[in-house]
Amino acid sequence: MWIIVAYDVCTETKPGRRRLRRVAQVCKNYGQRVQKSVFECQVNEMKFEELRRKLLKEIKKDEDNLRLYRLTEPRVDHVETYGLTRTIFFDDEPLIV
């Protein structure tokens, strides 16, 4: 399934800035950044639960905001993008690093 992870972490303090980096790193491990605080992730149900658990462990619910959106499949029928698009579809062809 495709999901969108969007977050807003309070960065007014040093711990908040560290938290922001940790949240971004968790997201990078599951998907790709499409905007500064927005990631697209293709995960199965188990990976989704794992991602949610890790993100909830990092954020402070009284200071931060975390949103997880499940996209209706097929994704290409429901997502419009304009401007610079850097989406990589890992299922289409092999990824060579």
Bridge partners of 7, per DSSP, are 66
**Residue 22 phi/psi, 5° resolution?**
-65, -40
Structure tokens at 58: 């990092």
Question: Annotated binding residue at 8?
Answer: yes
Residue with tokens 């500064």: 36
Token digits of residue 8? 């807003």
Instruction: Measure the CA–CA gap between 22 and 8, rounded to whole angstroms.
Output: 13
Binding site for Mg(2+), by residue number, is 8
